[in-house]
Amino acid sequence: MSDGAVQPEFGPDLAEVFGPAHADGGPELIQLLTPEGERVHHPEFDLDFSAEELQGLYRDMVLVRRLDVEATALQRHGELGIWAQLLGQEAAQIGAGRALRSQDFVFPTYREHGVAWCRGLDPLKLLGLFRGVDHGDWNPSDYNFNLYTIVIGAQTLHATGYAMGMQRDGVVGTGDPDRDAAVLAHFGDGASSQGDVNEAFIFAASYNAPVVFFCQNNQWAISEPIERQSRIPLYQRALGFGFPGLRVDGNDVLATYAVTRAALQRARDGQGPTFVEAYTYRMGAHTTTDDPTRYRLTADVEHWKLKDPIARLEVYLKRNGLGDDDFFADLTAEADELGHTLREGCKAMPDPEPLEIFDRVYAETPPELAAQRDGFADYLASFEGAH
Amino acid sequence: MVSTSSTGQKVTLAKGLNLGLRKAMEADDKVLLMGEDVGKLGGVFRITDGLQKDFGEDRVIDSPLAESGIVGTAVGMAMRGYRPVVEIQFDGFVYPAYDQIVCQVAKIHFRSKGRVKMPMVIRIPFGGGIGAVEHHSESPEAQFAHTPGLKVVACSNPVDGYWMIQQAIAHDDPVIFLEPKRQYHADKAELDETATPAPLFTSKVVRPGSDATLLAYGPTVKTCMKAAEAAAGEGRSLEVIDLRTLSPLDMGPVLDSVRRTGRAVVVHEAHVNLGMGAELASRITEECFYSLEAPVLRVGGFDTPYPASRIEEEWLPDLDRVLDAVDRSLEF
């Protein structure tokens, strides 16, 4: 091979197509409220919010942050085995959660405490899994909110199949706002590397399923940065699967709400899936067992603190006279009350009964498993009265 | 829709399964079929032949070529109230779906404290003997029978195929449904659709005998029946049990038989190491130790990967290897 050989073209230069990486989310970032609390407008996704709506979103975020802080403290006190923190992702979760209608169905990861809050789930219910007394103690159909799924990305396929079920039930694209429904599938930047997530994209695109793939790109999959998962902005992957992808400022509750609302409506209308990348940052650790100081710079965390989702809305509310001192004081009191309820409720959660596990494996318990249960019951009973 | 119900027709296993699927779809409009090539083609083995034409593309769904995607989306459909029946094209291709099967399908009922049911049937053509290339002849049943939350059954003949597929679909727990692919288009049997079938999770004595018990399922039932016939010519009376259900096991007929014969030989195509035979030997030993005249023996595939097809018949248990084990049991 001679030095003067012409290099073949392998398509366009990717750096030119996608542009350089942007710490601020890049020019495509959809935003309605800047980190400084300035209201900005967007040609496609602008929405008017009433004072009550803004206060409601603010209240949601403050309370779920308190839930997160309390749960983290409960883990430190040994009341929870582990806790998956949402700190910094309140806007992404509340924005998405409040965009739902009651007939929509949500498939969460194990970090969607804010979305659970929006679905009306008692936050105490979220603690059971982390305390080790259950694997999720709510009926998904009571809240249209599935149990937390721990295997990364597995739930995106369930979401797609559920959406295919909705299509067969005739609740997509009828034009009836009380009937048409969609699915919201949560996952993270790490999950975007999973085969299941990519298969979910393919199935959803192929069947035009009414599902919104809502990815909270919090920049970190435990210790691995987003660059290890993707060489292009995640939302741009959607195009390759044949449906639109959008990047929204995930620390902007207004923009996240507006974009998710539009994507869900598109799905309900029968126009198929949308990928929403909520560009955010995991301010806390992956879980309470993680130590982020081993792999990321304090300066990065400090940079993202300036983009705090709650602080920017607080600035906006105060600057525009949308919340008086009583509003903020009452909310603080409400958060304190929530904290108290969580602390006391968590400590009061009973351990499960050992024999219950046998009855839950199958809808119809096989005789041999029933015999195993009876044998274990006899064994346990043999200790009664022993010292 | 024309029902093909009739009595006395002679059908293959493929036809029996096809008629059973049709019946199940007629009985419950929540029953959906999904898999690769199950629509117009009728599946690579034609088990779903004609069903998409009669039930439409919404109920007989050609899926993208991704097994985890098939099972994972079926989970969502089941959560929405459907009863998905998915086809894995060949045994060796179930592994991309293994995570969804063992971590999700098997555990959702348990995880949800019984609030979410998972009435799914995963049909898997299994076993060898069709001269196929690698990954098309495997017997993965032990991996699923080892997983709590799943039920695992194997049909061996056209009549069982017809009834068992309907029973599996009507059942509220997830069922791994194993079909001996070598038998699909082999022997015909008379199907009486007005008969009352045995319950799904039961084993059956298919040939009575008194000298030793052969335990088989799926493709090896036929092998054992031939072995028993050959043995009869030599004056030996072998009882053959078609296990039919692998998880749960139905030990009643097995233990009754072994208590009478005092000898048991388990025959399956899967590798013997940690296979179904190991569990059966253990249970038989625990339950009727004093009735045994010889150790429980196992005849199965060797502990190697499935060989190239030109020598597969050497690898698969056949009549002679079964009778060799019977000899060893009787001479013990």
Per-residue pLDDT reduced to its tens digit, B95-143: 999 999 999 999 999 999 999 999 999 999 999 999 999 999 999 999 9
Handedness of CA B191, B195, B200, B206 (dihedral sign): negative
Q: Which domain, by its residues, includes B274?
A: 204-331
Residues 365-384 of A with CB under 8 A from B: 366-369
- The one-character DSSP state at A39 is B
Residues of A with CB below 8 A from B58's CB? 167-168
Across all residues in chain B, what is the average pLDDT?
97
* Count of C-beta atoms within a 10 Å radius of residue B93: 16
Q: What is the CATH number of the domain that holds B91?
A: 3.40.50.970
Residues of B with CB below 8 A from A151's CB? 99, 103-104
Answer yes or no: do B125 and B156 share one domain.
Answer: yes
Residue of B nearest to A166 (CA): B80
- How many domains does the structure of chain B reveal? 2
- The one-character DSSP state at A101 is -
Residues of A with CB below 8 A from B110's CB? 135, 357, 360-361
Comparing CA positions, the residue from B284, B247, B250 lying closest to residue B264 is B284
Q: Which residues contact B168 (CB under 8 A, 6 or more apart)?
A: B121, B153, B175, B177, B200
Hey, is the C-beta of A154 within 8 angstroms of any chain B C-beta? yes
Answer yes or no: do B181 and B72 share one domain.
Answer: yes
Distance, in angstroms, between A16 CA and closest chain B CA?
A: 33
Whole-prediction pTM: 0.96
Ranges of beta strands (E only) in chain B are 7-11, 31-35, 60-62, 83-87, 121-126, 151-154, 175-180, 189-192, 204-207, 212-216, 238-242, 245-247, 264-271, 297-301
Does any domain span residue B221? yes
* Count of C-beta atoms within a 10 Å radius of residue A43: 5
Residues 81-140 of B with CB under 8 A from A: 81-82, 84, 96, 99-100, 103-104, 109-117, 119
Does any domain span residue B1? no
Q: Say yes or no to pLDDT of B206 above 50.
A: yes
pLDDT score of B6: 57
Residues of A with CB below 8 A from B63's CB? 203
pLDDT score of A11: 78
Residues of A catalogued as catalytic: 282, 286, 295
Quick one: tokens of A84?
């998956």
A160, A357, A366 member nearest B76 (Cβ): A160
B75, B81, B109 member nearest A361 (Cβ): B109
Quick one: tokens of A264?
């869900």
> How far are the Cα atoms of A188, A283, A314, B63 from residue A266, in angstroms, in the given order?
22, 32, 31, 24
For an interface test with B, the pick among A134, A183, A362 (most B C-beta atoms closer than 10 Å) comes out as A362
Q: Are residues B173 and A362, on separate chains, in Cβ contact within 8 Å?
A: yes
Q: Are residues A364 and B173, on separate chains, in Cβ contact within 8 Å?
A: yes
Q: CA-based angle B210:B216:B220, to the nearest 5?
A: 120
Quickly list DSSP for A286-328. Answer: SSTT--GGGTS-HHHHHHHHTT-HHHHHHHHHHHTT-S-HHHH
Answer yes or no: do B44 and B157 share one domain.
Answer: yes
Residues of A with CB below 8 A from B150's CB? none
pLDDT level of residue B270 (50, 70, 90 thresholds): very high
The predicted model gives B238-261 an average pLDDT of: 98
Hey, is the C-beta of A360 within 8 angstroms of any chain B C-beta? yes
pLDDT score of A326: 97
Answer yes or no: do B58 and B128 share one domain.
Answer: yes
pLDDT score of A385: 80
Residues of B catalogued as catalytic: 136
Separation CA B194–CA B192 (nearest Å):
5
Answer yes or no: do B185 and B208 share one domain.
Answer: no
Answer yes or no: do B55 and B108 share one domain.
Answer: yes
Separation CA A333–CA A312 (nearest Å):
21
Answer yes or no: do B216 and B305 share one domain.
Answer: yes
Handedness of CA B290, B291, B293, B298 (dihedral sign): negative
A135, A165, A363 member nearest B76 (Cβ): A165
Q: Are residues B172 and A363, on separate chains, in Cβ contact within 8 Å?
A: yes
The predicted model gives B14-38 an average pLDDT of: 98
Distance, in angstroms, between A33 CA and closest chain B CA?
A: 36
For an interface test with A, the pick among B79, B121, B250 (most A C-beta atoms closer than 10 Å) comes out as B79
Hey, is the C-beta of A139 within 8 angstroms of any chain B C-beta? yes
Q: Are residues B73 and A136, on separate chains, in Cβ contact within 8 Å?
A: no
Does any domain span residue B169? yes
Distance, in angstroms, between B84 CA and closest chain A CA?
A: 10
Size of interface A-B (CB pairs under 8 A): 134
Does any domain span residue B2? no
Distance, in angstroms, between B10 CA and closest chain A CA?
A: 34
Q: Are residues B66 and A199, on separate chains, in Cβ contact within 8 Å?
A: yes
Hey, is the C-beta of B151 within 8 angstroms of any chain A C-beta? yes
Q: Say yes or no to pLDDT of B298 above 80.
A: yes
Q: What is the 3-state secondary structure (H, E, C) of B154-169?
A: ECCCHHHHHHHHHHHH
Residues of A with CB below 8 A from B249's CB? 368
Does any domain span residue B302? yes
CATH code of A21-348, in short, is 3.40.50.970
Q: Say yes or no to pLDDT of B2 above 50.
A: no
Q: Say yes or no to pLDDT of B229 above 70.
A: yes
Does any domain span residue B61? yes
Residues 183-202 of A with CB under 8 A from B: 195-196, 199-200, 202
Residue of B nearest to A360 (CA): B110
Hey, is the C-beta of B32 within 8 angstroms of any chain A C-beta? yes
Q: Are residues B76 and A139, on separate chains, in Cβ contact within 8 Å?
A: no
Answer yes or no: do B183 and B53 share one domain.
Answer: yes
> How far are the Cα atoms of A197, A302, A334, B69, B98 from residue A154, in angstroms, in the given order?
7, 33, 36, 9, 12
Amino acid at A256: T
Are B118 and B109 in contact, with CB atoms under 8 Å apart? yes
For an interface test with A, the pick among B57, B112, B152, B176 (most A C-beta atoms closer than 10 Å) comes out as B112
Domain termination site, one of B192, B221, B236: B192
The predicted model gives B29-50 an average pLDDT of: 98
Residue of B nearest to A361 (CA): B110
Comparing CA positions, the residue from A93, A60, A137, A22 lying closest to residue A338 is A60
Answer yes or no: do B138 and B282 share one domain.
Answer: no
Answer yes or no: do B252 and B292 share one domain.
Answer: yes
Residues of B with CB below 8 A from A137's CB? 113
Hey, is the C-beta of A300 within 8 angstroms of any chain B C-beta? no
Answer yes or no: do B159 and B63 share one domain.
Answer: yes
Are A251 and A35 in contact, with CB atoms under 8 Å apart? yes
Are A63 and A334 in contact, with CB atoms under 8 Å apart? yes
HSE-up of residue B140 (Cα within 13 Å, Cβ side): 24
Distance, in angstroms, between B187 CA and closest chain A CA?
A: 32
pLDDT score of A23: 57
Answer yes or no: do B257 and B181 share one domain.
Answer: no
Does any domain span residue B244? yes
Distance, in angstroms, between B312 CA and closest chain A CA?
A: 33
When comparing pLDDT for B72 and A15, which is higher?
Answer: B72
Q: Going residue by residue through chain A (387 aa), what tens digit of pLDDT does each one get? A: 556 677 777 877 766 766 655 556 788 899 999 999 999 999 999 999 999 999 999 999 999 999 999 999 999 999 999 999 999 999 999 999 999 999 999 999 999 999 999 999 999 999 999 999 999 999 999 999 999 999 999 999 999 999 999 999 999 999 999 999 999 999 999 999 999 999 999 999 999 999 999 999 999 999 999 999 998 999 999 999 999 999 999 999 999 999 999 999 999 999 999 999 999 999 999 999 999 999 999 998 999 999 999 999 999 999 999 999 999 999 999 999 999 999 999 999 999 999 999 989 999 999 999 999 999 999 999 998 875
